[in-house]
Amino acid sequence: MDKQKPDHAHWTAVADQWIAWAGAPGHDAFWAYRDGFASYLGAGRGSALEIGCGEGRISREARALGYHVTATDAVAAMVDAARAAQSADAYAVASSEALPFGDGGFDLVIAYNVLMDVEDVPAAVKEARRMLKPGGTLFISIVHPFRDRGRFAGPSVDAPFVVEGTYYGREHFDGVESRDGLSMHFAGWSLPLQDYMAALEAAGLAIVSLREPQPDAASTEQLRQWSRMPMFLWIKARALPSEE
C-alpha cells in the first residue's frame, strides 16, 4: 500500500486553492523571505531538481539564479500550473519517494516545504540523495518545528510565544487558513528537528549550512513577530565522503 496516498489525495483536492494562494504575489509568507532565499541558495549554472514544485515559484527562483531546472510534483495539476508559468526547463509528475531519473543526475536538489507533506520522510530524503551528483547539494526548507508546536499569545509584535503540550513526537496537522479573500486547507506532519536530522544521517548526508531566516523589514506586523522566532528552517546538506 502506498503510504503517500492520503497526502497525495489531499494535495490533489486542494491544488486549485494552493495555486491561487501561492501564486498571488505578496500573499503567502514566502514573499517576505524571497530575497533571503535567493541569496542563500546562490547563483549557479548546474542542473537543479525541485521535488514538490507546486505552482512553480521556487523553480522560477532557481531558474532566475542560473540553474537548469527540472520541476516535479506528485499532483499533475501542480505540474501543469508550473509549466503554464514557464517555471522550469523540464517537468515530471512524480512522487518524492519514486523519482523517474537515474542516479546522480543533479548538482542541486531542492525540497522546499515539501517534507512536512510526506508521510515517509526518510524514504523521501534517501531518494533525494540518490539524485545528487558527487559533491552536489540538497537544499531543504521546512516550517520550523517550533512554529508548528507553538503560537504567539496575541497579535502585537512583542507578544510572548507559547508552546503548549510537547515539542517531541510526530503529529498530524489539519486546518484552514484564510486571508485577503483566499483560503487554503493545509494538512501534513509536524516532526521535531531530530527526526529530520535522523533522516539525513540515514541517507548518508551531513549538514554543511543552516539558516533560521527572518522576514524582510518591510513585512506586515503579523510577520514581524517572526523576526523574534523562526518560521522556517533552511538546510544545505551534502553526502558524507564515504557515501560519495
Query: pLDDT tens, 3-27?
Result: 446 788 999 999 999 999 998 888 8
Tens digit of pLDDT for each residue in 77-95?
Answer: 999 999 999 999 999 999 9
- Cell numbers linked to 209: 549550512
H helical segments located in the chain: 5-13, 15-23, 34-41, 57-64, 76-84, 121-131, 145-149, 193-202, 221-224
Positive/negative CA dihedral, 200, 242, 62, 79: negative
Give the chain's mean pLDDT. Answer: 93
Find all residues with CB under 8 Å of 144, minimum gap 6, and list them.
212, 229, 230, 231, 232, 233
Residue showing cell 533552511: 234
Q: What is the mean pLDDT of residues 109-137?
A: 96
What confidence tier does 244 reach under pLDDT thresholds 50, 70, 90? low
Domain that holds residue 74: 5-243
CA 207 to CA 89: how far, in whole Å?
28
Question: What is the end-to-end Cα distance of the chain in Å, rounded?
Answer: 32
Of 201, 193, 195, 196, nearest to 238 by C-alpha is 201
75 touches 14 (CB < 8 A): no
* Mean pLDDT along residues 51-60: 97
Residue 1 has pLDDT above 50, yes or no: no
Residues 6+ apart with CB under 8 A from 102: none
What are the cell numbers at 149?
508546536
Confidence of residue 222 (pLDDT cuts 50, 70, 90): low
Residue 70's DSSP bridge partners are 49, 90
Domain count, the chain: 1
Q: Pick the closest to residue 126 from 95, 156, 172, 148 (CA basis).
A: 95
Q: Is the pLDDT of residue 241 over 90?
A: no
3-state percent helix, strand, coil for the chain, nearest multiple of 5: 35, 30, 35
**238 vs 3, more confident:** 238
Q: Which of 70-84, 164-178, 217-231 has the lowest mean pLDDT?
A: 217-231
Phi-psi region of 240 (alpha: psi -120 to 50; beta: other; left: phi over 0): beta
Q: What is the CATH number of the domain that holds 119?
A: 3.40.50.150
Report residue 43: phi and psi, to 5°. -70, 150
